[in-house]
Structure 1
Amino acid sequence: MLGPVRAWLGDVPVELTSAGRRAVLGLLAIAGGQPLGQAELIDALWGDRPPPSAPNIIQTHVKHLRRLLEPGRASRSHSALLPRVGDGYALRVSPDNLDLLRFRRLLAEAATAQQGGDPQGAAGLYAEALERWQGAPLMDVPLLAGHPKVVALAEERHAALGRYGELMITLGAVAEALPILEEAAAAQPLDEAGQARLIRAYAVAGRRAKAFATFHDTRRRLADELGVDPGHALSAAHEAVLRDPGEPPAVPAATPKPPAPVRPTPAQLPADVPGFTGRDEELAALDRLVTENDEQLTAVVIAAVSGMAGVGKTALVVRWAHRARSRFPDGQLYVNLRGYDTEQPMTAEDALAGFLRALGMSGPDIPSARDERAAAYRSLLDGRRVLIVLDNAASADQLRPLLPGTPACAVVITSRDTLPGLVARHGARRLVVPLLPRDEALILITRLIGDRVRDDAPAADDLIGRCARLPLALRVAAELAIGRPEATLRGLVTELADEDRRLKLLNAGGDPQTGVRAVFSWSYRQLSPAAARAFRLLGLTPGPDVAGHAAAALLDTGVTEAAELLEVLARAHLVQHTGADRFTLHDLLRAYAVNLCEEIGDGSAALDRLFDATLFTATEAMDTLYPAEQHRRARVTRPRTPVPPVGDVGGAQAWLDRERANLVAMVGHAATHGRPAHAVHLTLILLRYLESGGHYPEAVVMHEHAVRAAQLSDDAAAEARLLTNVAVMDVQQGHYEQADALLRRAVELARGCGDHAAEARALGNLGHVDQWQGRYDEAAERLQEALALCRLTGDQAAEARAVGNLGQVYRRQGRDEQAAAYLSESVRICRRIGDPVGEGYAQVSLGDVAARQRDTRRAVRCHREALAIFRRTNERAGTALALDGLGTVTHDVVFLREALEIFQQLGERAGETRVSNSLGEVLTTTGQPERGREEHLRALTLATETGDRYEEGRAHAGLARVAEMLGDPETADRHRTLAWSRYAEIGAPEAEEIRSIIDRRQASGTPHR
């Protein structure tokens, strides 16, 4: 299990074909012989949304595992290997038969040897323990990648690597320790102890420049991502290197600082509530909290505004926030946490992603882990005066990651809960919003209804009582009165009393919200049948809001009719405007609408229509943006209802941007509510949009849901395609090892189910990983396999990409004529099938070939053609590549700076590495060697972290040129030797050129160090 989940009977491998089976076996193996209850297994596999058949599915998985692992066991006899314990199961195997237990036992023996004065023996035991690992734990079960016990296993290995590395430094075996310490440091770049250990090892090995570079990179990373300075361990390691005489640090003592970025000022407050009445005391109380904050800037002021549902907490806080916004010049953040939404409460991770974007962080830069997002959020708020409104919170746990660390900010929270944990631990000041005082309630309905309130004061008083003095209920009731001008106020109150009695009879349990439900029911019963049906069905929408075309699909009507019904509901205060043509429901009203749907039973067909229409529109939008890939997308039947205009690039992009939050919510709902095909298809369709826009957090969430849906429905073909998608995103972010493991699994799945198209795509991307890491022969072999499968399936778009990627591999190997032939063929195919994006990438590579052949005019022409294509198609990564090519050929730093900014925004570390080296070369060539060295050092750090051997060699070659210009031949020789070593490892043609320089220096008698 320390790697892919594998099992053997003796020496015979056992075929664990189902992902669910591997997951169950892996979880039981982690438990180390201890039983796991059914609830724990269900939670690990399905989270909060298990299907009704979850216990049966687990039982089936265990039954199959017993059959595979105990083939000789008699039917219905007791299982010794997988016995049932309580309502769960245990895996009972010898410690020598489970790699995890063997690993832990070896670690214990190593610790004992070390304590007993046998460091050599301890080192051997540590090495043997680490050899047990064949990859990330349970690496072929992605749905468990984030499970706490799996994450803890990875931490065990990281700790063992650290202990082993420390011991090897003590023993003086630094050469053997460095690869281990580099791996541990790269895996956890924010682990100061691990980075300090690596710095000390570099110093002992005489690689002081590398030690200094590691310190400076780590210090910069800590400042950028966590907003902190180096701690004691890191600082001590740095000071030790400084005290040791030797060559000066390679990183300049004072690097020029780039201009401070312009930070956006968010303004996310919702619109103020019209007709707001009263609440002077509560508004004054909030004012006092902020005044205290002005006077005593020692801690973040947190106001926890609590009260029952419908009491007007949000209206109060929004009114106050608009009044107070001038006190927060750096902006206002707002999020509806939907804490009491039974379907889609917002997670802290999602809320943090939204806040980070509002504060200027691009999607790809947003960390995946909650704690890292929270740290980045606190860093961006540091020193700023921002108001944060956290609306509709369910618990303190949901809130804690969203609290800033700077006292200049203020936080206002609304919740039905009094949040005692937040008060006790974080010093939140509690403000309880009572029911609207009777006199203020009277003012409110008088303002809304008018003279009839004055004409019948007793009836008005009864109406206030029936509405429980809740502003939401009063507004709903008032709207009904306005809509029936001929009725007396007394008559309406009598109807409401009758409805109240009916609901109380139906609710023998004494629901405290019965009075409010009566108001809702009273208003609902006055709606036309069409409007009543619209209200019921709108409560089912998974996302935060709904627009006109989506409402039309849900209601099975035209867009105009749907819009009219929505306006009727808005006038009745049963839905709320959130923007032009967009509406949402208060959570109380949503719950009421869902209850009505359950009673009547007309919700399932409506959701089918909504999901089908959304899937069709998403397909149409992606066909518009990426027409050459239409054949890869499953055809969806056009719905009866109209669809949004997505036939042009602008319309398609705008619809996807507007609906992104709803699309993510739909995938989650579909995966957990019996619509796995919708979850899978929608996710597969949207990949290119998500990756090109840098929407990685959303992409990760959607793929987690979709992979789980595919696995639990045993759809191996879909799982293979989804895993390839995840791997593509990993590649773009420089996570090559993760991508490699996922792609190997995807190939295995695709071959198992005979899906040649999925196999070709996975193989092609495996070739791409090999290329980036300098394994050119393996890359070419895999791409040739992929090309054969593309031609077999007739997928010309995939064929063009495979041919183009082969051209890139041959270009890296210096086989320019062969590269040009393949790349030209890719251009021809792309033009024939109408794939401008594919053509653009091939043109960039043709420009690179021309540049190597010193044909500057042709290189510029190719890069300009590519740039025009990419700008026209809004392909940002391609735009950056074309700009890099143009800047390199023309020595134009402006082009290169723009390319670097795009890659940084997209989080594409491979592209960032390439452009940093290009910048270094151009700056050095144009007489700015110090600035060139800075760019090459950055490229070297990135290339080392991601394993890009070609760009690592390129960085060393650039640093050698810089050192020559600065009169430091010894440093130049060292970097030149390292450049030759990296190029020679991967068979790059640059190795010969550098070798010849080294040979000339040696022949001339110049010592080469």
Structure 2
Amino acid sequence: MAVEFGLLGPIEARVDGRPVDMGHIRQRSVLAALLTEPNRPVPVDELVDRVWGDRVPQRGRETLYGYVSRLRQALRPTGEVRIVRRPGGYVLEADPATVDIHRFRDLVARARAAGDDQAAALMRRALELWRGEPFATVDTPWFHGLRQALERERFSAELDATDIRLRSGSHGELLPELTTRSAEHPLDERLAGQHMLALYRSGRPADALTCYQGIRERLAEELGIDPGAPLRQLHQRILTGDPALDLPNPNPNPDASSKPEPASDPDPDPGSAPRGRSSVPISRQLPARPGLFTGREQQLAELDKALDAPGGTVVVSAIGGSGGIGKTRLALHWAYERLDRFPDGQLYVDLRGFDPSGDPVAPAVAVRGFLDALGVESGAVPLDVQARIGLYRSLVQGRRMLIVLDNAADAEQAAALLPGSAACAVLVTSRRRLAGLASAHGARLLTLDVLTDPEARELLVRHLGRDRTAAEPDAAAVLLEHCGGLPLAISVVGARDAAHPDFPLAVLAEELKDESARLDALDAGDLTADVRAAFTVSYRALTARAAEVFRHLGLAPGPEIGQAAVASLVARPVTAVRAALRELENAHLVQQPAPGRYRLHDLVRLYAAERAREEPAEGGDEALLRLVDFYLHTACAAAGLLDPHRDPIHLSAALPGVTPQEPADHGAALDWFTTEYPVLPSTVALAAAAGFDTRSWQLAWALETFFDYRGHWHDWAASQRVALDAAERIGDRSWQAAAHRSLGNVCTQMGLLDDGHHHFRKALDLYGELNDPVSQAHTHRGLGWVCDQQGRPRDALDHSQQALALYRRTGHQAGQAKALNNVGWLHIMLGEHRTALDHCAQAVDLNQRIGDRHGEAGAWDSLGYAHHHLAEYTEALDCYRRALVLVRGFGDRYGETEILNHLGDTHLAAGDPEEAGPAWRQALKTADEIGHPAAGELRSKLGGLPQAGHDEKL
């Protein structure tokens, strides 16, 4: 069996070309960690560190053993690869050549020792092994470090490959690639030298000198250095026009070897030529070369790769993408750049698969056009369609030709026009994903996405002019933002600007800012320059079911939506919407960036919403309510798993057609919130704007614990302000009080102490009016916290003791545990450490009895703090480590930051600064990511250490 492992991209394994399931991402990361060093023992502790970093689960080794066992089972059928346990650790026994990292390094090494012709091929093979970011989605420090090292190796290999291509005279085709790469690596002198040389050899010495001036200024400003000697010498040689920079003439006597191109090729078998054909003329049917083409370097390389692939069948590349994405422009640009590869001619037909003014071109009509171009007399054209196609295939047999089938309606239409000759190449463009061409004819599918930010900016500059965009950079940025990288939208902006070159760009930018009129602004008065018209053509080709789903997607808040949410939105089973979503994806109206997750381009979303308004479905007002119900009921179920001791709220039954998800456990709940996080805050606001005030308040309530765990303070505050407004509109004082209390919590978390105190007092007053002692107790706890943060420990203790008394009176055990911990903490703040130990120990015990891990973690942290101040450092460290295990188990990043900060303090107080440093560095990393107010304090502590130590696993 042929076994291959891929690490230069998502981790994957293949046997005989077929993918093999190696388990979930953490299990695959174990495989990857071993594959990086095949046939060498990797110690268990080192393997654990590689796979989990500082997030090792409580039973890390046992979990690792389970992963290894399952990997052994998955690898057993290969008969060639196995994982064995040796005294030094685990060894993965395999041929290094089966792993793409080692093949890449071997090919690069061989290329560097070979002559240019062989080296170019070896480098190309090496770089083609890369499928994306190495070990994609694995995020531990060890993998991150190795990923960065590999990216450096790749960059070095790319530079070597560029040197080879420059020596071979490919400077012209290298220029776009070098321009983009130079922007990505603005301080790399070797790359700058390559760019300068390519510009000079392309007849642009002034641009080459400008390139040198740019890097010289950047090096001086950012690094305080001058360019190195090699770059300075190249600069001087360009200034003097050194002939040595020119390529040697590969053909010093062209007249001696050049021959005029014949008007037509001789018929290889004149006796078998069809009637009416004496010779086949060279046809040049391509439309005019597209102007202002920019970017698409990767896609152009993919087309080259397909053309150069070995094999004995016709090469077919199918370019797919949404309307206005630039499929035809890419195909024609590539064709014109490679005309020398098709000396026997090029055939072109617009199949009008999505033409709003008529039906798609029938194969009989298209092939008749080809026969005319190939010189077949009209009287010799067969009447039978299959006979025509057979004649066409006979005429192109053995000829090096390019056939461009533009705007195909489907795979069947394109397949009828495929030649039978392996000497021909075919480019097909379509708004649909032509999977049938791939399965039946081996077509390489190439899907176009929007332009990258640099590509989009360059295209806009080429339309508007560099001076014009530089004069109004803010307006240009707005234009780019709202065009969203769609080439057609940028071209429409260029056309509208060309019609009124004296108008400021800000005028057009203001039009695009208005979401309700944005599609109107992207209309230059012609069907070929109208973004709405481009989308309409694709929309009209949908089935009724897919069109219905598409319209509903325009109601969703974005930026993406899951399959289950779509099912609730349209009130259909997941199985029913899956086919519609697949059709929309094949039509390139939606993208699927992750399994079961769907995203619409911003302009497509606006168009979908427009269609929903113009074609309202019966009961359409309930669609948005169903979507809100889906998120609300699922979020409440997940919130109950994150904090099972939180006081619940009552939900009304979800609308018919809504199918909420039920996360299985704490981890699944946290995963659901993390996945849906980009859409949840906007759903709170959307529900309120639609008049669903009750649901808006309830959804905001359900998000609190997740926002707290992950440090999403601003989203928490914004959603609670919406909730407070909703509660006030409803007139529900209990909900108003809850929103004030939540705002008190988040404001205090953010260090906005006066605001926090204000909201807590408002909540306490309302709960007093409502005679709600449990909620009064919750609010007293909050006031105790904010008073403590304000430096008023006596007031804080008074509030905490009031909370404890209320909890005891009402029998609220979870509240009692939290209040005991708070009282203990405040005794510490007042220097009463022995008293604090008693309260904190009671809090630990009560939290353990009721199973509140979050409360238990806080109590261990407080207990550790008390031991620290009694100079009982061993006990303090033990308490902090217990707390750390708990908070990492349920994903509380705010709590983890606090505990790591305290842990570092105790290490330092115990005379061990080398252990303090790693704890503080980990705390600072998380604090910076979530905006924790202790970030500045942690930086000061790290700056005061005698020297930086090395992080160790905690």
**TM-score, normalized by length of structure 1?**
0.43
**TM-score, normalized by length of structure 2?**
0.45
* Greater RCO, CA 8 A, separation 6+: 1
